């Protein structure tokens, strides 16, 4: 197959995908961020998804990256992997998706394929992306073809990678579906699951993270109820987990670019068509309430007042354990609540990039833990935190909150 692949958006989804495609096809990656392009050229991946070797091997074998869309003008398959975040009102922000579609429309040719991997609500590809692509004056299914194949990258997960997990694919017509299925079969060593429409593929993706969100919200709600009853939620969950069909979820902070975002996409679309999604939104509400719940517990234990001279340390700024990504992290919400209450709050992360930490938290970012704190919140379960000697930076009166229950109950730490 004489396919030349252009990948639009080289984040934690796009770069691994582009590298995989580059092993079988001529592949060019595009990103609007100049520094990301420079880093990739130096075989450095700030998201930690790929090793230096994997990137440099790909480059040696012809993989190219560029911040100029014209560089991709000879490609005939465009795969869009740009972020689809929410705005400050928790509404879908499709700016980057629209921009990517605009850029592609400038270089789209007869016979080309455009495959979207970015998570959207059902209907978005047909209602928003395709009209933009048609600004090229080319016609869908006559001149060019569209597909949707949801990304399933799990940041930091080395077991479930682009190449070895099952892939849902869809197309704008049967021919598109056939070609897109074949294309992914070339690069993926797992099952390709074709579905009957782009809507179905979009829906299949958006519900995956909504399901995780609601399940974590359920155990977060339990932890709020049981805390009032002086029942240890982790012990309850461990006991319930001895039942064959109990689902093991842990309470905690839900951040990131997927679980805390996708449900809003689905809720947006549902509301638009006249359905108020009770379950989905109650899940979001509960998960959003967790930083305040943790703050309230610490406040109750330390019995502090606003502006009082208390030293707080948050361990973990990333949105997920063993992951360097500090964007969309609920640790930041927790930090903001402490700052709003004018407490002396510092934040540490064992994995995140020092420069990124500095630019987000300025003087409140600490690289080394060398002071004594009144409260320490282990907000993220990075492996590095398990071996910490808490006696070095706490006193007998300090409060330690082990949000993710990474330590045994016998330690006597507060937990959800």
Among 2, 53, 274, 355, binds a second copy (CB under 8 A): 274
The 3-state DSSP class for residue 140 equals strand
Cβ neighbors of 132 (< 8 A, separation 6 or more) are: 98, 101, 102, 105
Interaction of residue 340 with a second copy, rule CB under 8 A: no
Q: To the nearest whole angstrom, how small is the minimum distance from the Cβ of residue 26 to a second copy?
A: 29
Using the rule CB under 8 A, is 191 a contact of a second copy? yes
Nearer to a second copy, 300 or 367 (CB): 300
Backbone angles phi, psi at 399, to 5 degrees: -105, 130
Catalytic residue among 75, 258, 323, 345: 258
- What's the min distance (Å) between Cβ of 260 and a second copy? 16
Judged by CB, which is closer to a second copy: 34, or 243? Answer: 243
Per-position x/- string for 201-220, each x denoting binding to a second copy as judged by CB under 8 A, each - no binding: x-xxx-xx-xxx-xx-xx--
155-184 burial, b at 16+ Cβ within 10 Å, e below that, comes to bbeeeebbeebebbbbbbeeebbebbbebb
CA-wise closest residue to 12 among 151, 115, 159:
151
- Site for a second copy, residues 147 to 166, rule: CB under 8 A: 152, 160, 165-166
Q: From CA 289, how far away is CA 122, in angstroms rounded? A: 27
Q: Does 243 bind a second copy (CB under 8 A)?
A: yes
224 binds a second copy (CB under 8 A): yes
Q: x/- site string to a second copy, residues 282 to 321, per CB under 8 A?
A: xx-xx-----------------------------------
Select 268 or 304, whichever has its Cβ closest to a second copy: 268
Residue 174 has φ and ψ, to the nearest 5°, of -65, -35
Our finding on whether 258 is near a second copy (CB under 8 A) is: no
Question: Which CB sits closer to a second copy, 73 or 191?
Answer: 191
Torsion of Cα atoms, 380 then 385 then 390 then 394, to 10°: -40
Q: What does residue 107 show for φ and ψ, rounded to 5 degrees?
A: -120, 5
Residue with token string 């004056």: 137
Question: Exactly one of 60, 228, 306, 368 binds a second copy (CB under 8 A); which one?
Answer: 228
Of 11-19, 64-72, 278-286, 317-325, the window that binds a second copy (rule: CB under 8 A) is 278-286
Q: By the 8 A CB rule, do 165 and 152 touch? A: yes
Our answer to whether residue 258 is catalytic in this structure is yes
* Binding of residue 141 to a second copy (CB under 8 A): no
> In this structure, is the dihedral angle defined by the CA atoms of residues 127, 123, 4 and 43, taken in order, positive or negative?
positive
Number of residues engaging a second copy in binding (CB under 8 A): 62
| Residue 89 touching a second copy (CB under 8 A) | no
Strands (E), 138-261: 145-148, 167-171, 192-194
Closest contact distance (angstroms) between CB of 278 and a second copy is 4
Instruction: Tell me how far apart the alpha carbons of residues 49 and 356 are, in angstroms, rounded to a whole number.
Output: 17
Structure tokens at 24: 């079988």
Identity of the residue, 222 or 350, whose beta carbon is nearer to a second copy in the bound complex? 222
- 196 touches a second copy by CB under 8 A: yes
Nearest to 288 by CA among 221, 236, 375, 349: 221
Q: How far is the CB of 100 from a second copy (least distance, A)?
A: 24
CB of 244 to a second copy, least distance (A): 6
Residues in 110-139 at the binding interface with a second copy, rule: CB under 8 A: 122-123
Smallest distance from a second copy to CB 248, Å: 10
Using the 8-state DSSP alphabet, how is residue 375 labeled? E
Report how far residue 331's alpha carbon sits from residue 343's, in angstroms, rounded to the nearest whole number. Answer: 15
Element (H, E) at 205: helix 198-229
Answer whether 330's CB lies under 8 Å from 291's CB.
yes
* Token reading at 4: 């030349």
How far apart are CB 358 and a second copy at their closest, in Å? 35
Contact 77, 4 (CB under 8 A): yes
Candidate segments 25-33, 50-58, 238-246, 368-376, binder of a second copy by CB under 8 A = 238-246
Residue from the set 34, 53, 244, 387 that interacts with a second copy by CB under 8 A = 244
Catalytic residue set: 258
Binding region for a second copy (CB under 8 A): 122-123, 152, 160, 165-168, 191, 193, 195-197, 199-201, 203-205, 207-208, 210-212, 214-215, 217-218, 221-222, 224-226, 228-229, 231-232, 235-237, 239-240, 242-247, 266, 269-270, 273-275, 277-280, 282-283, 285-286
């Amino acid at each position: 197959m004489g396919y030349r692949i252009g990948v639009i958006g080289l984040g934690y989804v796009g770069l691994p995908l582009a590298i995989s495609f580059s092993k079988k096809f001529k592949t060019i990656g595009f990103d609007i961020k100049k520094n990301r392009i420079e880093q990739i050229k130096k075989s450095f991946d700030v998201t930690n998804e790929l090793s230096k070797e994997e990137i440099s091997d790909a480059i040696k074998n012809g993989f190219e990256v560029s911040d100029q869309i014209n560089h991709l003008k000879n490609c005939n398959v465009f795969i869009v992997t740009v972020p689809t975040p929410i705005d400050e009102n928790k509404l879908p922000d499709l700016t980057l998706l629209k921009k990517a579609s605009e850029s592609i429309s400038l270089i789209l040719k007869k016979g080309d394929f455009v495959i979207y991997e970015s998570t959207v609500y059902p209907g978005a590809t047909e209602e928003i992306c395709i009209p933009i692509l048609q600004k090229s004056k080319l016609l869908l299914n006559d001149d060019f073809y569209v597909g949707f194949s949801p990304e399933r990258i799990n940041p930091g997960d080395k077991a479930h990678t682009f190449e070895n997990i099952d892939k849902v694919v869809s197309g704008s017509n049967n021919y598109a579906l056939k070609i897109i299925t074949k294309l992914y079969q070339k690069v993926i060593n797992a099952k390709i699951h074709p579905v009957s429409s782009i809507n179905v593929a979009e829906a299949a993706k958006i519900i995956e993270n909504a399901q995780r969100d609601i399940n974590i919200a359920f155990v977060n709600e339990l932890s709020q109820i049981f805390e009032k009853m002086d029942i240890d939620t982790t012990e309850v969950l461990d006991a319930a987990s001895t039942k064959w069909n109990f689902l093991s979820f842990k309470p905690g902070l839900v951040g990131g670019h997927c679980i805390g975002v996708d449900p809003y996409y689905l809720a947006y679309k549902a509301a638009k068509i006249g359905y108020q999604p009770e379950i989905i939104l109650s899940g979001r509400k509960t998960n959003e309430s967790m930083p305040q719940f943790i703050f309230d517990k610490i406040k109750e234990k330390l019995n502090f007042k606003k502006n009082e001279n208390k030293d707080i340390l948050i361990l973990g700024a990333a949105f997920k354990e063993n992951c360097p990504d500090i964007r969309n992290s609920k640790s930041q919400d927790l930090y903001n609540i402490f700052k709003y209450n004018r407490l002396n709050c510092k934040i540490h992360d064992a994995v995140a990039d020092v420069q990124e930490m500095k630019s987000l938290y300025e003087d409140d970012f600490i690289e080394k833990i060398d002071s004594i704190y009144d409260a320490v919140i282990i907000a993220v379960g990075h492996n590095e935190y398990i071996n910490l000697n808490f006696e070095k930076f706490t006193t007998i009166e300090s409060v330690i909150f082990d949000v993710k229950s990474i330590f045994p109950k016998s330690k006597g730490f507060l937990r959800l």
